[in-house]
Amino acid sequence: MFNRMRNRALISIFSFGMGAFAFCQSKTAEMTTIEGCLSENSGVFVLDNGFGQGSTILVGNTVGLSSHVGDELSVTGLIHAASSGDEAREALDVSSFTTILKRQPGGVQPRTGDSGTWSSFRSAKFGVGMRNPAKWTAPAEGQLDISANVVNDKGIEFLHAGDLPRDVYPDSNFVGGQFALIVSSAIANAGSCRKFGKAEGPVTSLRVSGITYSEAGTSWVGMGTGHTTYSLHTFQNGYCYEFDLEFDEQNGTGMDLACTVQWLTGENEQKLLRSLVSQVSFAVPETPPVISRMSPRLRPKVTSLLASPLNSAVGMEIEVSWATEGTDYVQLRYPCIRGFDTNGMGGLLSGVVPCGPVTDANYPPSGSGKILLLNHDSNAVPFALTVIPYRDGAADDRGAKVVTVNVPPQLK
């Protein structure tokens, strides 16, 4: 990416102090061109050359550079040695510069082509359909990265999915993505449909084409790529529907400097999300949902809760299992304890199991999973896990159960 043609036949001395610069130029110095990202600090312009090549101070004819901070530039001038205190740096006496890439504060707008050429999908069975660009082909078998983000893992069907090509956001850090349209027949009310299995940050509301959706986001990072998924839920005609849109973007690890590509903004992502969701439509399903209507007299209740210790080389591992009645989903809660960590190890419990009175994770009405308990204190700590039942989006603390496990100090 970076073409650094530098002639060091003669290196002059460049020194600077509090905003003052002085240098001695050789008569035999030749013009050099350097490419990089421009930054500015206290009136000093610096070109970051990237890939461990350091940075170059720009001096001399710097008029006009202030409007290019954040851009990728090609700068031509005479190269010098510069010093700041004990730190040796390089300076370029600017003769001219050109812009390679202009940073767009608004990011990159999605390109989806002529909507008149889009293809259509419809499931008469579930009364839902959508339109999307025809070139967004279905993922190969086993290549769909999206998982349903609902409170009950039963009754889930993937209806329609596609891959987003890289050219949706040209000349950006976007490297691809996917979308999926999902239905859940096990969630029988709007209150539970509005919830998610996992939500990072607050659940918000989005209204598109007269339909109100609840919206949540999740993300993870791996191999220099950040993955962000937006999940939308709506309850229509007795079914809970989910629309997911995943963005895969280079996150700066092992890639060019930030200014050498355009970075997507959250608004760039939301624009595509709203555009696609506007093409989702609903009708009366040919197959009516089999709704299990719970009697109002059947109060949500946790009927059993067990925590069984397992052998573990590190900390203390337990297997937790629960069962309920009259319940749509449950939350697992435990108080935050200084010096105490947990980590989901399998089953329904994976990743960090959050502590505190408010959690971002919901689980099916019956299930199990493993948790690793790490006690960094010098004394044993009681781990009190509470399982709270929910119905139609509301908790019933009266039906909760608590199980307590005494966790010894972790061996050093």
Burial class (CB in 10 A: 0-12, 13-18, 19+), 270: middle
pTM above 0.75, yes or no: yes
| HEC per residue, 79-130 | EEEEEECCEEEEEEEEEEEEEEECCCCCCCCCCCCCHHHCEEEEECCCCEEE
**If DSSP codes are grouped into helix, strand and coil, which group holds residue 6?**
coil
* CA within 13 Å, CB half, 401: 16
Per-residue pLDDT at 293:
65
Question: What CA–CA distance (Å, rounded) separates 405 from 368?
Answer: 16
Q: Domains in the chain, start-ordered, CATH in brackets? A: 13-101 (2.40.50.140), 115-282 (2.60.120.1690), 301-407 (2.60.40.2410)
Name the nearest CA neighbour of 327 among 397, 230, 240, 409: 397
Name the nearest CA neighbour of 384 among 401, 409, 403, 371: 403
Digits of tens for pLDDT over the chain (412 positions)? 333 333 322 223 223 333 333 333 443 457 899 988 898 988 899 998 765 567 889 999 999 999 998 888 999 999 876 655 545 567 899 999 999 888 887 889 999 999 889 999 999 999 999 999 999 999 998 899 999 999 999 999 999 999 999 999 988 899 999 999 999 999 999 999 999 999 998 999 999 999 999 999 999 988 778 999 999 999 999 999 999 999 999 876 555 566 777 889 999 999 999 999 999 999 999 999 987 666 777 899 999 999 999 987 788 999 999 999 999 999 999 999 888 989 888 888 987 788 998 888 999 999 999 999 999 988 999 999 999 999 999 999 999 999 999 999 986 5
Please give the torsion angle defined by the CA atoms of residues 195, 201, 202 and 203, in that order, rounded to the nearest 10 degrees: -40
Per-residue pLDDT at 292:
67
Question: What CA–CA distance (Å, rounded) separates 350 from 171?
Answer: 36
Question: What CA–CA distance (Å, rounded) separates 328 from 154?
Answer: 11
Buried b vs exposed e over 367-404: b needs ≥16 C-beta within 10 Å? bbbbbbbbbeeeeebebebbbbbbbebeebeebbbebe
